[in-house]
Amino acid sequence: MKLSTRSRYGLRAMLELALAYGTKPMQIRMIAEKQDISNKYLEQLIAIMRASGLVRSIRGPKGGYLLSKPPAEIKLSEIFTTLEGPMVAVDCLEHPEYCPRCADCVTRSIWADIQDAMMGVLEATTLQDLADKASSGADSADYRI
Amino acid sequence: MKLSTRSRYGLRAMLELALAYGTKPMQIRMIAEKQDISNKYLEQLIAIMRASGLVRSIRGPKGGYLLSKPPAEIKLSEIFTTLEGPMVAVDCLEHPEYCPRCADCVTRSIWADIQDAMMGVLEATTLQDLADKASSGADSADYRI
DNA sequence: ATATAAACTACCATTGTACTAGGAATTTAG
DNA sequence: CTAAATTCCTAGTACAATGGTAGTTTATAT
């Protein structure tokens, strides 16, 4: 099981915006360069996050993107579910009617446990937490994967 | 993010074998019928688990499949990683050399946390645990998803 | 022998991933 | 007013994974 580039690139881009928060808008090109991500591809990922309201944009020269709220108010779970889709391991977690025996299905409860475990981590961490860690260690906002 | 049918079908098949453990071999057709899974597709999934040593097979009439060890000794993590591949959220968790800044990469540590959270659940549960739960509740080894 | 069942091999349609390409719309600076 | 910078939008594309189907071969209990 692998995370797609969507969440990986997306989180890195958001962290970049978090580090620039309160200064000036940051352009796609700048983010893509710093993070070594395809310009055009990142454009699409950010569009998804703009649609969900996580970031806002300013057009024209000197434009770019900004977090739409302070990093401390953005939980990683928001970013993750925006990019990766609703984090449901199996459909019957959301739609119990799909399966006549959901109530006492033992495999279902395992998938639910897994999902809760993952979301627990993502709910407990904000962009601010990441930004703090990143700026404490050298210039470590700089990674490849 | 979704689990593939591989782990879902696979776990259900293994649970079926766990419930039959100690009696007689169970045929693919029987499992597929009980669980409403495509016969031929399940054949492939079980082949993977046979290759990994989780089940053994007996050919010919009255043949079928058996768990190769008692259900209490089979952790869900074994089944999961067999079917879903090594559960690494991102490559640099396994290959730190991919990224020059792994040591202080803050996003990497998040993926590591998520992975640990998931594996925690899967490591803590055995097929026996599931079988116990399943046989306590009516005939609830019977689900669709 | 024969029927049963696994084992193996090959194919296929659909979807998702990770991009690339090109241009249109908007805004700022000069 | 114009030119440049930037976002916004739509489309296409190569590749791999997913979720199967189909047919043949091999082993074995009776």
pLDDT of residue A25: 97
How buried is B40 (Cβ within 10 angstroms: 0-12 exposed, 13-18 middle, 19+ buried)?
exposed
Per-residue pLDDT for B125 more than 80?
A: yes
Report the distance separating Cα A19 and Cα A39, nearest Å: 19
Considering A44-53, A86-95, A133-142, the range whose residues carry the highest mean pLDDT is A44-53
pLDDT of residue A14: 96
Which protein residue lies nearest to nucleotide D23, measured between its Cα and the C1' atom?
Answer: B40
Chain B residues whose beta carbon lies within 8 Å of the beta carbon of residue A36:
none
How buried is A52 (Cβ within 10 angstroms: 0-12 exposed, 13-18 middle, 19+ buried)?
middle
Which protein residue lies nearest to nucleotide D4, measured between its Cα and the C1' atom?
Answer: A61
pLDDT of residue A145: 41
Beta strands in chain A (DSSP E): 55-58, 64-67
Mean pLDDT within A97-104: 56
Mean pLDDT within A37-56: 97
A37-41, B34-38, B50-54, B120-124: segment of lowest average pLDDT: B34-38
Handedness of CA B119, B122, B125, B128 (dihedral sign): negative
A86 touches strand D (CB under 7 A): no
What pLDDT, in 10s, does the model give residues B58-115?
Answer: 999 999 999 999 999 999 999 999 998 876 766 665 666 556 565 557 888 898 899 8
In this structure, which topology does domain A5-134 adopt according to CATH?
A: Arc Repressor Mutant, subunit A (1.10.10)
With contact defined as beta carbons under 8 Å apart, do B69 and B49 qualify? no
pLDDT of residue B144: 42
Chain B residues whose beta carbon lies within 8 Å of the beta carbon of residue A111:
3, 8
pTM, to two decimals: 0.86
Mean pLDDT within A118-135: 92
Mean pLDDT over each residue of chain B, to the nearest integer: 86
What confidence category does residue B122 fall into, taking pLDDT thresholds of 50, 70 and 90?
very high
What confidence category does residue B40 fall into, taking pLDDT thresholds of 50, 70 and 90?
very high
B111 near A CB under 8 A: yes
